[in-house]
Each structure stands twice: as structure tokens, then as C-alpha cells.
Structure 1
Amino acid sequence: MSPSTPLLREANLTEIESLALSSQLNMADGHARQELTEAQRSIIDELPDLFGKAAAQPVDDLEREAHGAYLHLLRQHSYPTGPGGVLTCYSSSVAMEILSRSLAASGGGPVALVHPTFDNIPDLLRGNGLRLLPVEEDVLHHGPVGEAVPEAVRCLFVTTPNNPTGRVLAEERLAAIAAECAARDVVLALDTSFRGFDTRSHYDHYAVLRDSGCRWVVIEDTGKLWATLDLKVGLLAYGDGVGLPLAKIHSDILLGVSPFILVLVTRFAEDAAAGGLTDLHRFVADNRALVRATLADVPGVSFPDVDARVSVERVDLGDRPCLDVWTRLRQGGVYVLPCGQFHWADPARGDRSLRIALARPPGALDAAVRALRAVLLDA
């Protein structure tokens, strides 16, 4: 792909992220690329034994262990444990495709989607013929509940914590929205891929959804937390009576994920429960502080997501066009994400902000942010 501004405007975020995969200063994608901790390196030393365990143990048992270790780590104690209640996928994007196809196969209808959010969600929904209605974050979090669930929608899709803003749907607000969805027979779908970074999202979503009586689907993702070279699983959980052909479409796409990855997820979740998750939170907070301190005195720059805890940070560039800044950074081998594509219903709203990934070695992050500082001061 050419780095020219016209082509960049047409690219989706994943295409832009792919440009950075071989760069030493890749601050674009939100995947975990930090160095392993000492405890995590010891898990890697166990790989021969873990491979043997994966080969010897029934896959159903390995799935139950991985689901339990990961979801209990995040205090999701009421997740469905019955047969088929949690479908294991290669990634959260595959889970999203299964949900999108299931909505289309069961009659379609408009889908209300939080705005802004990562653009592969609207792309997958639209790609399956679904019409989208934006729900602004302020409305979703604080507006009248009836406005958070627009009239005549078939499904409300919420990313919490959101990417790129980090905003978390509070327990009381989720309960109110779920009750509204139940009253109007609207499917409530949640993408909680960044849940692990923010303890404010560790209340038991599954208990809230179950008690509301609504039809619900939740997408979980292990791939954002641990630097396992993208060895990960996505989880697609759903309640009884959801009325969507999720299991059938899951079987259309895959038989199952690698049992070796299931064992790896279990071990990393166990390490996280033993203190690794707290260490990760501290690591991300330190990297966020590094970004803010380095850019704090740059004229016009601000940080709109003051309470964010997820592993990405938005930077408002003032009156500087983001795509110009992005192009100059790329010329120096530094990659971040322009924010226009996150605003899938109104890209111009993201034209003067960018997103920096924080799950990186501090030295590389420091070099990238110093390069950004130099570009901004010269702009």
C-alpha cells in the first residue's frame, strides 16, 4: 500500500496495522507485544510438557479448563457452563463474523452500534448485509435508555471497554440497557476484548444479562493480554433462547481450535490470577504515563480519554491533520493508527487524533513517542 493520504483514507485499520508488522517501532495494532515476564518465560519453558498434555487430554476437558481459568480470572463467574454455551474460536474477529452471519441468517434488521469503535466490527456487520445505526458513547452511557436502544433495531452492539476510548459500561447501566432490550426483544451483544485491562469491567456481566431476561451474546478475547505471538482464542458466549444459529454457523467455519493453545491460555490465565494481571495493569499505566509526559508540553496536544486503562491511548493533535502526521511518522519507520476509521459513521471526527498502542517494550514506546513529539513540534 502506498502511504499517500488518499489511499490511507480508504484503508481499514487492519490494513494499516499490517504495514507495521515488521517495524521495530510498531505502535499501531492493539495486540500484546511487550516482553514476557519472568513467570511467563517459565511457562514457555514448559512448552514440551504442555504439548504432551494437549495431545493426551480430551479436548472437551481442555476447553472447560481454558474457559474457566480465563473467565474466572476476570470475575465472570456466571458464564454459561453447559454444553455449547461458550463457543471457542480462532479469534474475536471470527466470533464477530459468526455473530454477524447469524443475525443476517435470522432475518437481519438494523443493528445499533456504539460510535466510535474499531472498524472491523461495522465492516463485518455490513459485509453480511446488515444496516447500522450509530449510538454515540455519551448517549450509550448517560442518555435516556430508550435512546441508547434506538427504535426498530434488531440488535444493540456495545464494545466495553471500548476501543479506542477505553470507556466502560457500568453495571447499573448495563442492567438498565439489558432490561430495555428484554422489553423490546432486542439482542444485546457485547465485545469485551479489552476487559482484562480494567477492573471496572470485572463485575459479572453474565449475571446481569441472565437476570435481565434479554437475549444476549458476549465476545471475549484472550489475545490482548499476553505476548504469546498471537496464539490466542476468541470466545463466543450466549444465553438460552438467544434465537440465533450461532452453533451451526460456528460449525460451518471451524471444527475447533488447537488444544495446545487451550493449554497455553489456561497456564497464562493461572499466572495472571497469581499476580500477573496486577503487574500488567501497572505496566500499561506506566507506559501511558510515559506517553503523556513526553507529549505534555507540545502545543495543542491533549489526551481525551483521561480515565482510560486499556492498552491503547488516543492523542488529540489540536489543529494538525492526523494523516499528515501519520505519513511523516511512517517515513521515519514509526507506526500508529489514524482515528478517522474508528468513527465509522463520521470519519471526519477522527481526522485530528491518533491512537498509540501501549502493550510494547518501554524503550521502543519511548523512541516512537519522541519521534512523534519531534514531528508535532515541527508541524
Structure 2
Amino acid sequence: MTATNETIENLTQWEYLALNSELNVADGHARQALTDGQTKIVDQLPQLFAEGEQRPVELIEREAHQAYFTLLGQHGYPTAPGRVLSCYSSSVAMEILSRALAGSVDTVALVHPTFDNIADLLRGNGLRLVPVEEEPLHHEDLPDSLLTEVGCVFVTTPNNPTGTVLAEERLRRIAEQCAEHDVVLALDTSFRGFDPRAHYDHYAVLEASGCRWVVIEDTGKLWPTLDLKAGLLVFSERVGLPVEKIYSDILLGVSPLILALIREFSLDAAAGGLADLHEFIAGNRALVRAKLAGLPGVECPDPDSRSSVERVRFSERIGVEVWNELQRHNVYALPCEKFHWDDPTEGQHMIRIALARSAGPLAASVDVLRSVLEAR
């Protein structure tokens, strides 16, 4: 792909430009070094490959789902056949959901801001979007006027890029409102693994509410598996959408090798690896904040975030301009305008830094960022 900042149309194109740089702090995928426990799993790849050849895919998939959902506290996830669909990525799961919605829904209420490919995929399937600002979403009932206008409410939790988590009582209330108005409630929980506040059992809450619901999970943000991952598309029994049919139009299933890898990484995380990851991300966040401390007009606007990304806001600089200066030093971060899919001006004074990186390259990247900001 050849692109410049003048021709880039979405966040993924910005991320693509960074893939070959050692100082890539743009995309939210895990790119830190493997832990000792994870290295042992990678060393077992020949055995996992053989297992994928010899055992039924259904059994490996069931084990992977159980290990992953249990790790993150989602004990109420549906175990009936066909209720958890394994996809190549969360974006593929999002495309399936978007197509399924388009058959019976005209308008979707989408949290604002959030990662722009959600908005792009929904719009690309002919759906009209209504923004739901993050602050009132977490503190107030959804207006009846909104719920009579839309066929689906879509929330990202923890949100990307803010890290804001939808609390259990808020999820319960929103689900109850969606049930009252027969509106589908969709959640993208791709960053759930980083924040224990998002580990309450969402599926138990959703099922108790009686609403029609869909959840997208993602294993790709947690572990440095070279993008060997799965997006999981989970839905309620009476969701009333052709999810399974559209899934079958797009793919047959995910490789049993990848599913076995997810199972093993989940088990390693449950044995202490997840706590170590939380400590690692917290240390990298502290590193970023310390290196930028004291710069006039520079702040990190998400003090409570535990996600694997960190926004940096500038009172006097434009994010794209900062990006231009950084890339001259082969450093790539992510301008935040396009997260604000309904009003890009709201994000124009920010960039997002990925924290799932080894400390050395991350520190070098932030040192360059500080020098760029000091030079102005």
C-alpha cells in the first residue's frame, strides 16, 4: 500500500504505514516479546499442529472457547453448538454482524468516539449511524426518542481509544432498555483482557435482561502471536438476525492450530500470565507519562485507563502534524481524528500510543515524541 497523510481514509491505513518500523507504536496488536511461558508454548507448535490434524476441530474449538471465556470471567457464555462463531479476526466478526443487521435494521446508535472501522463497516452495509457520546452513555439512561429511532445500540467496552469500561450496573440498565424497545444490543469487548473491571460476567447480565444481544470478542490484542488470533462472534438464542447464514457465506472456520494456540495461551494467562501482562502494561503506561511529564500543554486525558493504548493530547499541536514530525524519525503513532467518526475535529489535537511493546522501543519512541514537542 502506498499512502500519504493526505490520502489516508481510515485508521488501519495509518497503522499499515507503521508495520515495518521498529518504532511502531501505532496499532493496538500485541508486539512485545514473548514471556518464558509463552515461549514454551511456541516451542510446542509441532505438537499443536499434529493435534490439529488428529483431533476433531469441534473439540479443540470448544476447549479454546472455554479457556478464553473462563480466563476473563465470562462463565455465562453460551455453550450450545453454533452460539460462538470463531472468525479470522474481530473485523471479520464485525462485517458478519453488519451484514446481519442490514437485513432488518436501518439505523444504529454507535458510541462516539471509537475505532473507525466499526463505523465504516456498518455504513458500508447501508446502515445509518447516530452518535452516542461516551460520557452520558456511562451515566444516564438512553433517551426513549433514540431507542425508537434505532434498531441496534453498539457499545465498545473497554472503549478504544479511551479505555472507558461500561460498568455492570450500566450494562444491566442499557440491556433492560434495549429489551423494552426490542433493540439489539451489540458489544465489542476486544480490549476486555486488559482491565479487570471488564471481567464481570457480561453474558449473565445480558441473558437476565431478556434483550437480543451480540458480542464480539478478540484474542488478538492480548498476546504476541504474530496475528495468529480469532475474533469470536457470540449471540443470543433469539437474536433474530441471520448471523449463522452470513458466517457460512464468508468462512468455514478457523484453523485448529490457531484454536489450540489460543487455548494454551489462555491457560498460561490463567496461571499468572494475565496478571503479569497487566503489570507490564501499567509499567509501560507509567513510562510514557513520566517521559512526557512537564511538557507545557501536553497531557494524557485518560487517567483511569488500563487498556493497552494511551492517548496524548496537545493544546497547541495538531495530531497529524505531530505524526509527520515523528515519521521523519521512523516513529509511527496514530492520529486520533478518525476515532471521532462523527466529528473528527474533536480528535485533531491527540495521538494514540500503543503500549503492548517491549520497553526499549517504546521508550525510544516516546523520547522522539518529547523531542518533537519540545522543538516547537
TM-score by length of 2: 0.98
Q: Distance in 1 between matches of 2:86 and 2:167?
A: 26
After TM superposition, list the pairs within 5 Å mapping 1:95-174 onto structure 2: 95-105=93-103, 107-146=104-143, 150-174=147-171
The 3-state SS of whatever aligns with 1:113 is strand
CA distance in 1, matches of 2:183, 2:37: 44
What's the secondary structure of 1:7's corresponding residue?
coil
Structure 1 residue corresponding to 2:249, chosen from 222, 227, 252: 252
Q: Which one of 279, 284, 306 corresponds to residue 281 of structure 2?
A: 284
Query: Which residue matches 2:64?
Result: 66
Q: Deviations over 1:274-311 (max 9, x none)?
A: 00000000000000000000001111001110000000
The residue that corresponds to 2:25 in the other structure is 27
The one-letter code of the counterpart of 1:50 is: L
1:150, distance to aligned residue in structure 2 (A): 4.1
Q: Does 1:272 align with 2:273?
A: no
Secondary structure at 1:316's aligned position in 2?
strand
The 1-side partners of 2:39 and 2:146 are apart by 45
Correspondences of 1:1-379 after superposition (within 5 Å): 1-4=2-5, 6-8=6-8, 11-105=9-103, 107-146=104-143, 150-379=147-376
How far 1:217 moved relative to its partner?
Answer: 0.2
Structure 2: distance between partners of 1:148 and 1:195: 30
**Structure 2 unpaired stretches of 5+:** none
Give me the whole-angstrom Cα distance separating, in 1, the residues matched to 2:140 and 2:375: 41
**Could you tell me how far apart the structure 1 residues matched to 2:237 and 2:39 are?**
40
User: Could you tell me how far apart the structure 2 residues matched to 1:144 and 1:48 are?
Assistant: 52
Structure 1 residue 146 displacement after superposition: 2.5
Matched residues, percent identical? 64
Secondary structure of the corresponding residue to residue 151 of structure 1: helix
Structure 1 unaligned runs (5+)?
Answer: none
| Letter of the structure 2 residue corresponding to residue 14 of structure 1 | T
Any idea what SS the aligned residue of 1:190 has?
strand
- RMSD across aligned positions (CA): 1.0
Cα displacement (A) at 1:318: 1.3
Confirm or deny: 8 A CA contact 2:147 2:183 kept in the other structure: no
Higher deviation after alignment, 194-203 or 141-150? 141-150
Count of residues paired in the alignment: 375
Letter of the 2:16 counterpart: S
Q: Is the 8 A contact 1:12 1:341 kept in 2?
A: yes
> Which amino acid is the alignment partner of residue 257 of structure 2?
F
- Looking at structure 2, the residues matched to 2 and 61 of structure 1 have their Cα atoms a distance apart, in angstroms, of 43
| CA positional deviation for 1:144 | 2.9
Distance, in Å, in 1 between the alignment partners of 2:227 and 2:141 is 40
- Paired with 2:141 and 2:217, the residues of 1 have a C-alpha distance of 27
Counterpart residue identity of residue 45, structure 2? L
Q: Is the alpha carbon distance of 1:353 and 1:373 closer, same or farther for their aligned partners in structure 2, counting shifts above 3 Å?
A: same
| Paired letter, 1:327 | N
**Aligned-residue offset at 1:374:** 0.3
Code of the residue aligned with 2:275 in structure 1: it is T
Superposed CA deviations along residues 242-292 of structure 1, whole A, max 9, x for unmatched, are 000000000000001100000000000000000000000000000000000
Letter in 2 for 1:185: D
Counterpart residue type for residue 180 of structure 1: Q
In 2: Cα distance, 1:244 partner to 1:336 partner: 38
Cα distance, 1:2 vs. partner? 4.5
2: distance between equivalents of 1:2 and 1:205?
Answer: 40
Give, in whole Å, the separation in 2 of the partners of 1:259 and 1:100.
26
Give, in angstroms, the shift of residue 16 of structure 1: 0.6
Distance in 2 (alpha carbons) for counterparts of 1:300 and 1:337 = 19
Q: CA deviation at 1:323?
A: 1.0
Write out the 4+ residue segments of structure 1 that deviate beyond 3 Å after TM superposition. 1-4, 147-151
SS in 2 for 1:237: strand
**Using the alignment, how far apart are the partners of 1:321 and 1:16 within structure 2?**
16
1:149/1:59 Cα in 2 relative to 1: closer, same or farther (>3 Å)? farther
Which residue identity lines up with residue 153 of structure 2 in the other structure? Answer: L
Q: What is the distance in 2 between the residues matched to 1:354 and 1:32?
A: 18
**CA deviation after TM superposition for structure 1 residue 322, in Å:** 1.1
